[in-house]
Amino acid sequence: MRIVLLGAPGSGKGTQAQRLIEKFGVPQISTGDLLRAAVVAGTPLGLHAKATMDAGKLVDDATMLGIIRERLAAPDAAHGYILDGFPRTIPQADGLNALLTEIGQPLQAVVLMEVDSEQLFRRLTGRRTCRECGRVFNVYTALPSVPPPCGGRCETPDLFQRPDDSEATIGKRLDVYAAQTRPLVDYYGDRGLLARVDAEGDIDLVTARLEAALAAASAGR
Ligand code: AMP
């Protein structure tokens, strides 16, 4: 399985990718997670990316393509992957296309996770991550306790808000999505790879819709 989850920040790409990896046994490749790990580790990449990320802007295409080229060469990606947050621009999509053509492993589907913008704002402002296990919660939807407990895996939930989930930065990220990433809907639509999924509502329901869309995409080729 070689797929891309496409969608605005807060559309649930990461949450749904986590569920697909369990079912399909392929890794989730989140460029946002890779960059955040580099920031925490203080590597040259992290130092390069931090200010851009905090401002809600996109890290340059050459850097992102370098990261993806390296990550896709890792042994665990040999049998497929779920790309989450990449590509985000047309040059990134072209670069990915060239890379995958070179190794003879084209993408199988690109799934657009559709969520209304008011919902996106609410999801992003409510998002919290556990410092211990990295799992993501939402103070609005992960009820009944607010903030929610860490699912029992971590002894003391230590939830934090991503710096780029501040209200000031969210608007910027949604604008960047509309201007630079949304054009990928037509890009992949024109190539016959796009499937659309209604990503609003119950998480299990969205997973079921996503799995149905992937089954339809694989039956169609
Ligand atoms: P995410 O976790 O996917 O929302 O990504 C968080 C931030 O990392 C984004 O707002 C960007 O600053 C940066 N980022 C992640 N993926 C990419 C990408 N494919 N291209 C450029 N910047 C990215």
User: Among 15-24, 53-62, 88-97, whose mean pLDDT is lowest?
Assistant: 15-24
**How confident is residue 3, by pLDDT bands cut at 50, 70 and 90?**
very high
Beta carbon of 9 within 6 Å of any ligand 1 atom: yes
End-to-end CA distance of the chain: 13
Task: List, by residue number, the catalytic residues.
Answer: 13, 88, 127, 162, 173
| Greater model confidence, 153 or 65 | 65
| pTM given for the model | 0.90
Three-state DSSP class for residue 126:
helix
Instruction: Name the token pair of 185.
Output: 């809907």
Question: How far is residue 104's CA from residue 125's CA, in Å, rounded to a whole number?
Answer: 41
Res. 86: pLDDT tops 90: yes
Q: What is the pLDDT of residues 29-39, one digit of tens each?
A: 999 999 999 99
Ligand 1 geometric centre to CA of 58 (Å): 6
Question: How far is residue 219's CA from residue 221's CA, in Å, rounded to a whole number?
Answer: 6
Beta carbon of 138 within 6 Å of any ligand 1 atom: no
Beta carbon of 31 within 6 Å of any ligand 1 atom: yes
| Greater model confidence, 76 or 158 | 76
